[in-house]
Amino acid sequence: MTLIECENLTLSYGNNVVVKDFSLKLCSGDYLCILGENGSGKSTLLQGLLGLKKPARGNISFVGLKQNEIGYLPQKTSIQKDFPASVYEIVLSGCLGSMGVLSFYGKKQKNIALNNMDLLGIGDLKKKSFKELSGGQQQRVLLARALCATKKMLILDEPCAGLDPIVAKNLYQIIKKINNDKNITIVMVSHDIGSAISHANMILHMQNKPIFFKTPKEYCESLIGKRFLGGV
């Protein structure tokens, strides 16, 4: 089932076009990894999908979900590291977008938060202060928060940036499990090409527009893939 379809999409900052002539269809259960050099429009594309950036031209159509039903994990910032809240409070806040006019969390939202904490292996950290956690634990908390916002799609912007290799590997495995077990579509920007090829079912390589959009196997065999992988 199609969830999002982009047609001739252009995203810009003033006169500076960052994404141009972009067309793409995302379906339920896809795991799309977006690759490309810095400044190639990857994060800007994510902002467009999230409604944080309006198209200069073209369209983004939401077919099988609403824009506010997307869970989002942004790039890690120094501000995030010092959230003055407990793990449970942060994860639970991911339910806000689906609560409508409700001004308080009910049993449903609390159960969703607890279940996602257990899924991410952070249930025992419920009462811990977020700022006291390790980098890997913090990313699990923020991923659990993003999961509380969706049943269909997660958008992840460099979720493992700055993590040590073992912690990053574990987090990638959790993301793949979410994709497989919950059939949640994953759209992820990453510079970790090895993990992208191992876990994604589609690779999008951007250079301000899509220059490759096929399977990981086809990417490895392509000229752009070999160059980006350092094979040529």
For residue 91, pLDDT beyond 60: yes
For residue 219, pLDDT beyond 70: yes
Q: Which residues contact 222 (CB under 8 A, 6 or more apart)?
A: 212, 214
For residue 188, pLDDT beyond 80: yes
Q: Which domains does the chain have, with CATH numbers?
A: 1-65+153-232 (3.40.50.300), 76-151 (no CATH)
Q: pLDDT at position 12, please?
A: 92
- Side-chain half-sphere CA neighbours of 57 within 13 A: 10
List pLDDT tens digits, range 20-63. Answer: 989 989 999 999 999 998 888 999 999 999 989 899 999 999 98
Q: Which residues contact 143 (CB under 8 A, 6 or more apart)?
A: 73, 120, 154, 156, 159, 171, 174, 175
pTM, two decimals, is 0.91
Q: pLDDT at position 33, please?
A: 96
- The rounded Cα 190 to chain-centroid distance in angstroms is 10
For residue 215, pLDDT beyond 60: yes
For residue 141, pLDDT beyond 70: yes
Query: Distance (Å, rounded) from C-alpha 44 to C-alpha 186?
Result: 17
Q: How confident is the model at residue 187 (pLDDT cuts 50, 70, 90)?
A: very high
Mean pLDDT of 192-214: 90
Q: How confident is the model at residue 102 (pLDDT cuts 50, 70, 90)?
A: low
Per DSSP, the three-state class of 140 is helix
Cβ 199 vs Cβ 8: under 8 Å: no
For residue 90, pLDDT beyond 70: yes
Average pLDDT of the chain to the nearest whole number: 90
Mean pLDDT of 164-192: 93
Q: How confident is the model at residue 100 (pLDDT cuts 50, 70, 90)?
A: low
Q: How confident is the model at residue 232 (pLDDT cuts 50, 70, 90)?
A: very low
Mean pLDDT of 208-214: 89
Q: pLDDT at position 229, please?
A: 79
Closest CA to 146 of 173, 181, 176, 184: 184
Min mean pLDDT across 79-83, 94-98, 203-207 is at 79-83
List pLDDT tens digits, range 2-16. Answer: 999 999 999 998 889
For residue 226, pLDDT beyond 50: yes
